[in-house]
Structures are given as C-alpha cells and as structure tokens.
C-alpha cells in the first residue's frame, strides 16, 4: 500500500531524461575537445558523467527492432512510429549513432508485410548490411582512399567496434601524399572522423565490404 502511493516517472519521461542527459554529455565532450575549452573558465577535470547506471539499463538493437514491430501494429502512421522510436534510440548510449539508419529502414520498408519479430530482425540486418557496403564504397571514393587497405581497416574497426589512430593501418589507407605536406594531418584527421562515425553507425550489423 505504501509503494502504491509512490509517484513513479512514466517510461516516456525517463526516456526523455536519458536522452537529454546524453545530449548534455555529448555537448560537453565536444566543448572540452574544441577551442572553447581553452578559453573557458570551467575546470573540465571536475566535470564527470556517471554512465554506469545508464549502461546497466542499456537497450540493445534487437529490442528496438522488436519494438518497431510491436508499435507498428498499434499505429499505422510511420511519422508517429518514427517519433516514438527516435525517443527510444536517443535514450540509448550505444545506439544513438544508428538513429538515421533505423529511421531510413522504417521509411523504406513495408512493415505491414513483416509477419513476426524474427523476420524484422532479418529484414533490418539485410538492409543495414547493404547500406554499409554502399556507404563504405562512397566514403572510399569520396576521399580517394586505398581501396583494399581501407576495406581491411574498416572491417577491423567494425570488429573491435571502434576506429584507432594507433599503428600504421590508418596511414596506409590515405591517398599517396608526403607526411610533410601541410594538408596531410588535416586529411588524416578528417578521414579518421568519417570512419569513426561510420563504425559507430554500423558496428554490430555484420556483413562484409
């Protein structure tokens, strides 16, 4: 009886809280890394985000896909479905980078034709792997990267779930250019950031290049 009197936040409010918490954390991380950090009066060493609790409650991708299947049966509006799924994804630390991928999947898929939860998982992973190959090809061509080395580096990064600047892997994929060239470091950093974002988006979906 005592517990029934306790007011508990509804699930949507909790998701909004987690999403906003993650937004602030990401913003502070960018501020710390940017020029603003040099001019700021904030002692960044004192800014600590406790994320262990959030990680312990982390929502996995399969759960999000099953939620799409369930919610699609309740609403026939893709706009409403996308709004609800965005809310869930943004509350998840590990899946925030996959938001555009999941939304594109919803928009391009006839969800009513999917008969069960297992089928929506199969459908998504097939779609995601196709997008992964397409976007990897575009990334390689756009930056004129060494194709074979780049594919090897990207697959290795996907396997360990993060891109690394250590070693010679990253250097080997760059266009032929002297390290003394003034543009070399900026190009290297740009390529690294693009691949890091790519890995965050596609890690865990499987597939090949």
Could you write out the DSSP letters of every residue in 29-74? HHHHHSTHHHH----GGG-----HHHHHTPPPHHHHHHHHHHHHHH
pLDDT at position 1: 82
Yes or no: say if 104 and 82 are a contact pair by the CB < 8 Å rule. no
pLDDT at position 137: 96
Instruction: Reply yes or no on whether the pLDDT at 16 is more than 60.
Output: yes
pLDDT at position 51: 56
Q: Is residue 117 part of a domain?
A: no
Instruction: Reply yes or no on whether the pLDDT at 44 is more than 60.
Output: no
Distance CA 209, CA 201 (A): 15
User: For residue 14, what pLDDT band results from cuts at 50, 70 and 90?
Assistant: confident
| Degrees, nearest 5: CA angle 88-63-92 | 35
Shared domain for 102 and 128, answered yes or no, is no
**Final residue belonging to a domain, choices 84, 108, 132:** 108
pLDDT, mean over the chain: 86
Q: How many CB atoms lie within 10 A of CB 205?
A: 18
Q: How many CB atoms lie within 10 A of CB 54?
A: 17
What is the tens place of the pLDDT at every residue in 77-136? 999 999 999 988 988 878 889 999 999 999 999 999 999 999 999 999 999 999 999 999
Shared domain for 89 and 160, answered yes or no, is no
Q: Is residue 103 part of a domain?
A: yes
Q: Is residue 172 part of a domain?
A: yes
Shared domain for 139 and 189, answered yes or no, is yes
Q: Is residue 114 part of a domain?
A: no
Shared domain for 96 and 158, answered yes or no, is no
**Final residue belonging to a domain, choices 60, 75, 108:** 108
Stronger pLDDT, 27 or 199, i.e. the higher one: 199
Shared domain for 12 and 96, answered yes or no, is yes
The range of the structural domain enclosing residue 38 comes to 8-108
Instruction: Reply yes or no on whether the pLDDT at 33 is more than 90.
Output: no
Shared domain for 54 and 132, answered yes or no, is no
Read off the pLDDT of each residue in 177-194 and give the average, rounded to a whole number.
89
- The structure's pTM equals 0.74
Shared domain for 134 and 191, answered yes or no, is yes
**Final residue belonging to a domain, choices 77, 108, 139:** 108
Q: Is residue 17 part of a domain?
A: yes
pLDDT at position 36: 54
pLDDT at position 42: 62
Nearest alpha-carbon partner for 103 in 131, 136, 137: 131
Instruction: Reply yes or no on whether the pLDDT at 156 is more than 80.
Output: yes
Q: Is residue 116 part of a domain?
A: no
Nearest alpha-carbon partner for 148 in 128, 129, 172, 164: 172
Q: Is residue 115 part of a domain?
A: no
Shared domain for 81 and 157, answered yes or no, is no
Distance CA 125, CA 209 (A): 14
Shared domain for 141 and 89, answered yes or no, is no
Shared domain for 67 and 95, answered yes or no, is yes
User: For residue 54, what pLDDT band results from cuts at 50, 70 and 90?
Assistant: low
Low-confidence winner among 42-56, 69-83, 124-138 (lowest mean pLDDT): 42-56
Domain count, the chain: 2
Yes or no: say if 195 and 203 are a contact pair by the CB < 8 Å rule. no
Shared domain for 91 and 14, answered yes or no, is yes
Shared domain for 97 and 135, answered yes or no, is no
Q: Is residue 3 part of a domain?
A: no
């Amino acid at each position: 009886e005592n517990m029934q009197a306790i007011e508990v936040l509804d699930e949507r409010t909790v998701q909004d809280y987690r999403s906003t918490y993650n937004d602030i954390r990401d913003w502070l991380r960018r501020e710390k890394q940017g020029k603003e950090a040099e001019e700021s009066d904030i002692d960044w060493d004192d800014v600590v985000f406790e994320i262990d609790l959030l990680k312990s409650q982390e929502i996995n991708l399969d759960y999000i896909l099953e939620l799409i299947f369930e919610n699609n049966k309740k609403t026939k509006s893709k706009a409403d479905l996308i709004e609800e799924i965005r809310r869930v994804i943004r509350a998840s630390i590990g899946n925030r980078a996959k938001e555009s991928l999941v939304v594109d999947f919803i928009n391009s898929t006839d969800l009513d034709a999917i008969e069960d939860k297992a089928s929506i998982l199969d459908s998504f992973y097939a779609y995601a792997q196709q997008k992964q190959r397409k976007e990897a090809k575009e990334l390689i061509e756009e930056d004129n990267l060494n194709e074979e080395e780049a594919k090897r580096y990207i697959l290795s990064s996907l396997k360990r779930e993060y891109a690394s600047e250590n070693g010679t892997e990253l250097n080997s994929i760059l266009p032929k250019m002297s390290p003394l060239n003034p543009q070399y470091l900026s190009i290297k950093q740009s390529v690294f950031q693009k691949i890091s974002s790519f890995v965050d988006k596609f890690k865990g979906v499987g597939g090949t290049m």
